[in-house]
Amino acid sequence: MSEFRPTAIGVIGAGIMGEALISALITSGVQPSMVTISEKREDRANELIAKYGVRSASLAENVSQAQALLLVVKPQDMGSLLDEIKKSLKPETLIVTFAAGKKISFIASHLDGAHPIIRVMPNTPALVGEGMAAISPGPNVSNSHTQFVRDFLEATGRVVEVEEDLQDAVTAMSGSGPAYFFAFIEAMVSAGEELGLSHEVATELSVQTMVGASKLLTTSGKSATILRENVTSPKGTTAAGLASFNQANFTQIIKDAIRAARDRSQELA
């Protein structure tokens, strides 16, 4: 099968994630002139044109010429968008959807024909090249289609392939996960301030601790469990802090949060 290398790539929705994907496409070797955006906010479109050298076009024009179409819109807007663009789509156009909760079957049901569709759940660290994305190819998707998507997503971080019925779990873990991390940092900073530290010092202590711990976890080859045990001396300060976590049923709190996010993702379908 021939390699899929589209020369006309449409991006619908040019918010934060849309921009990250534009940057990823270009980093992966796509020429900026091959990327066309459709964005309702003219000032935002002009900003991205100036920054990346991409083109801008009306929705109908963009869709009609695209060989690959990236849909980076809110889940609640997906149905109406698909109804609007289906008459302009070429039957062979690859559809790549980034909307949480929206199944491949939902996308297909709104379109005429049997388009190849790939569902992706990225996360916001893609903005700094440390993202985590999970992809699920649908029917009519070739290995070459999948490789094209993997190639540009790898410019944003790491990529895994999962069965589509696991995408809601992925959304709850890595899609929403950065917000859990930021909430934890907020709590640490607040605690530091209550203990007398300035906001600036408490923030630096909290953020760098997490940066260092994350790097240690990714480079040491040791599990989180082993690393936690290594820093926890019996009856020491860390043990006292972790005991407080255990009393509050910390593990169950995290599990409940992830399950709630998974359930909401399923509701969005």
Q: How far apart are CA 39 and CA 57, in angstroms?
A: 8
48-94 tens-digit pLDDT: 999 999 999 999 999 999 999 999 999 999 999 999 999 999 989 99
14-25 tens-digit pLDDT: 899 999 999 999
Is residue 100 located within the same domain as residue 228?
Answer: no
Is residue 74 located within the same domain as residue 193?
Answer: no
Contacts of 253 (CB under 8 A, 6+ apart): none
Phi, psi of 103 (to 5 degrees): -75, 160
Q: How far apart are CA 71 and CA 17, in angstroms?
A: 11
Q: How many CB atoms within 10 Å of residue 172?
A: 23
For CA atoms 172, 123, 179, 230, give the dihedral sign: positive
Is residue 202 located within the same domain as residue 260?
Answer: yes
202 is in which domain, residue-wise?
177-268
Q: Which of 110-114, 177-181, 230-234 has the lowest mean pLDDT?
A: 110-114
Confidence check: pLDDT of 268 > 80: yes
SS3 string, the chain, reads CCCCCCCCEEEECCCHHHHHHHHHHHHCCCCHHHEEEECCCHHHHHHHHHHHCCEECCHHHHHHHCCEEEECCCHHHHHHHHHHHCCCCCCCCEEEECCCCCCHHHHHHCCCCCCCEEEEECCHHHHHCCEEEEEEECCCCCHHHHHHHHHHHCCCEEEEECCHHHHHHHHHHHHCHHHHHHHHHHHHHHHHHHCCCCHHHHHHHHHHHHHHHHHHHHHHCCCHHHHHHHHCCCCCHHHHHHHHHHHCCHHHHHHHHHHHHHHHHHHHC
Is residue 116 located within the same domain as residue 200?
Answer: no
For residue 40, being part of any structural domain is answered with yes
Confidence check: pLDDT of 205 > 70: yes
Q: What angle do CA 185, 190, 194 make, to 5 degrees?
A: 145
**pTM of the predicted model over 0.85:** yes
Averaged pLDDT, 111-138? 93
Is residue 146 located within the same domain as residue 18?
Answer: yes
Is residue 56 located within the same domain as residue 85?
Answer: yes
Averaged pLDDT, 101-125? 92
Q: What angle do CA 190, 191, 196 make, to 5 degrees?
A: 95
- Spatial contact of 140 and 4, defined as CB atoms under 8 Å apart: no
pLDDT band at 2 (very low <50, low <70, confident <90, very high): low
Using a pLDDT cut of 90, give the percent of the chain over it.
Answer: 94
pLDDT band at 242 (very low <50, low <70, confident <90, very high): very high
Is residue 81 located within the same domain as residue 156?
Answer: yes
Number of structural domains found in the chain: 2
Averaged pLDDT, 11-39? 94
Confidence check: pLDDT of 126 > 70: yes
Q: Give the domain CATH number at 233.
A: 1.10.3730.10
Confidence check: pLDDT of 108 > 80: yes
- The mean predicted confidence, pLDDT, of the chain is 95
Q: How much is the pLDDT for 231? A: 97
Residue finishing a domain among 129, 145, 173: 173
Q: How far apart are CA 71 and CA 145, in angstroms?
A: 16
Residue finishing a domain among 130, 156, 173: 173
Between the alpha carbon of residue 64 and those of residues 8, 59, 69, the distances in Å are: 10, 9, 10
Is residue 128 located within the same domain as residue 226?
Answer: no
Residue finishing a domain among 173, 191, 214: 173
Is residue 30 located within the same domain as residue 44?
Answer: yes
